Chain A
Amino acid sequence: MPIDCDAARENIDAFALGALDADEAPALEQHLQTCIACARELRAARETAASLALTAPAVPAAAALKARVMASAAVLSTRPRRRPSWNYWAVAAAALAVLAAGGVTWGALMQRHASDLSGQTAIAQAQATQSSQQLASLVSWQRGMLEVSSQADLRTTPMAGTVLAPSASGQYFWSSTKQEGAFFATGMPPLPAGKDYTFWFIYGDKWENAGTATVTGDQARLIVHVDEDEEAGAAPKGFAVTIEPAAGAQERSGPMVLQSATRS
């Protein structure tokens, strides 16, 4: 229902604060499209609303934040903007759906996945483009992944790239019974020299270093020990991957590139 200027001005301040209830906003927005005077009023109200930010108690940012911001900006400056030509997990999900429709079990899928990985390993060996250490790492990861995926209490958590890694996506598979987890991600941005990807368990405010991922190209993988929080008696609330010094990090200090999609 159309409203006049008097009715619009009843709501402009709340609108500027983002406090107008959803059922009242459409009529005001419609009025603002045709009323220059009320639109001007809204601009003034928005300036006032924005000024409220200045009343926040001063909480100086940690010095490390500036380093993170500037490093991230530098990375964004050099990284070409690109969209993935395909999405590994979308393809995997589609494949899973097809296999499920055909009566293929998760275990069978993982056997097939392992077979594919073995094939990749053989190719890699034949081409001698991977070091023996990398191959050992890949085989070890495959083994850990199969063990985790065969557990009855297997849980999976999708992980999404942050603004620093919009092309990145990953999955974390874990089993409390096995007390192991397997992390894999693709589309990861290049690492700066002297840096590694660190996988973190998040327990509310507390972050625990769960290990450093092995990186091959734009892929990262890791087998981790599932560290149940004994004090809280609870599993981690979420997972994240950050860029940290290769020497290791007891506390998270670097920019986050992946985070679990659900951190509830």
Chain B
Amino acid sequence: MNYTTLRDDELMERVCARDLAAFEHLYDRYGDLVHSVVMRVVGDRYVAEDVAQDVFLRVWRKPEQFDLDRGKFTTWLLSIARNRSIDERRSRGRRLRHEAMPSPAEEEDPLLSVSDDTEDPATASVVADDQRAVRAALAVLPPEQRMAIQLAYFGGMTQQEIANQLGQPLGTVKTRIRLGMQKMRGALEPHYMVEGS
């Protein structure tokens, strides 16, 4: 069996049948990507490894929870990684390193580095196109919209918490998030239409 030619959903079918080799191939494809996402949220190497391990073991233990009709495998996997990371971050609260908490100044760094040079080599062949498209879509947003969206996604903050942190009215934050997300969706639609065709 040549697993490298199988799509993600085909590998997941085999994972449902307890095929450890298929699971290993999924790890090889997305291990670095999941670790990157978790590290971005929790900011601690040891914690990130534990969380990333939990994410993959959840895939292994409950593969039937993946439903292709509801979205792509990467959407499911990265949602687990993000949500599990946010849970860990909340449970640890202030013990996490301060630099893990996105601040208005820090938010600029990853966004300004929205370029191919931060691309993860290990996942390049799998999600490189998506990565480029998403980073480009995010990069063209006004900075205040990017910041609000990233504080929500990577910081796990509610709109009210973001408003408090930025010292902006709640209504302003709501507008920034809504407009920013709509622009991103508009920018990404052509990419995914081409990909899906």
Contact = CB atoms under 8 A, between A and B. Distances in A.
Contacts of B18: 77
Chain B interface size, as a band, is: 35 or more
Interface stretch (A38-46, A111-119, A179-187): A38-46
Given A44-B185, A55-B135, A17 B46 contact: no
Contacts of A60: 32, 35-36, 120-122
Given A53-B78, A57-B110, A61-B52, A17 B152 contact: yes
B157 A19 contact: yes
B24 A70 contact: yes
A264 interface: yes
Chain A interface size, as a band, is: 35 or more
Given A10-B174, A58-B119, A65-B52, A53 B37 contact: yes
Contacts, number: 178
A207 B157 CA distance: 30
Nearest to B81: A53
B103 interface: no
A44 B78 CA distance: 15
* Majority DSSP secondary structure for residues of B touching A: helix
Given A18-B86, A56-B40, A263 B114 contact: no
B45 A205 contact: yes
Nearest to B113: A57
A192 to B, nearest CB: 15
A21 to B, nearest CB: 5
A57 B40 contact: yes
A108 interface: no
Interface of A: 10-11, 13-14, 16-22, 43-62, 65-66, 68-70, 72-74, 76-77, 163-164, 204-205, 207, 237, 252, 255-256, 263-264
Interface of B: 18, 20, 23-24, 27-28, 31-37, 39-40, 44-46, 48-50, 52-54, 56-58, 60-61, 70-72, 74-75, 78-79, 81-83, 86, 92-93, 95, 110-111, 113-114, 118-122, 127, 130-131, 134-135, 138, 149-150, 152-154, 156-160, 162, 174, 177-178, 181-182, 184-185, 188, 192
